[in-house]
Homo-oligomer: A and B are copies of this chain.
Amino acid sequence: MAFRGFLPMMNRCLVRRAVAETKTAGGIMLPETSQSKLNIGEVLAIGEGQRVENGSLIPMSVSVGEKVLLPEFGGSEIELEGEKFMLYRDLDFLGKFH
């Protein structure tokens, strides 16, 4: 299932990174610095899975719509229709939220 016509390859996943609240509950703008980058993201599209040595395909361990805990490092940033997203391999996710 592609996202905006884009389909990740192998065991890669397209992820939109959650952004911390920029306003307090009372609506006051938080300074940029305190807008911490959350390591949480939503899976928007997934590849078909990784082929291993004997050629068989390892099924993906996340599905579209799941909330995942991102590793501190790694992943590559891409731009689709002017918006920034991240690409990770499913192996890299630390966990997911149910």
Interface string of A36-77 (1 = CB under 8 A from B): 000100000101100111111110011000001101100010
Q: In whole angstroms, what is the CA distance A26 to B36 when docked?
A: 42
Q: How many copies does the complex hold?
A: 7
Q: What size tier do the contact residues of chain A reach?
A: 35 or more
Task: Please name all residues of chain B whose beta carbon is closer than 8 Å to the beta carbon of A12 when the two chains form the complex.
Answer: 94-95
Of B9, B71, B95, which is within 8 A of A95 by CB? Answer: B9
Interface positions of A (Cβ within 8 A of B) = 2, 5-10, 12, 14, 39, 45, 47-48, 51-58, 61-62, 68-69, 71-72, 76, 78, 87, 90-91, 93-98
From A91, which residue of chain B is reached at the shortest CB distance?
Answer: B10
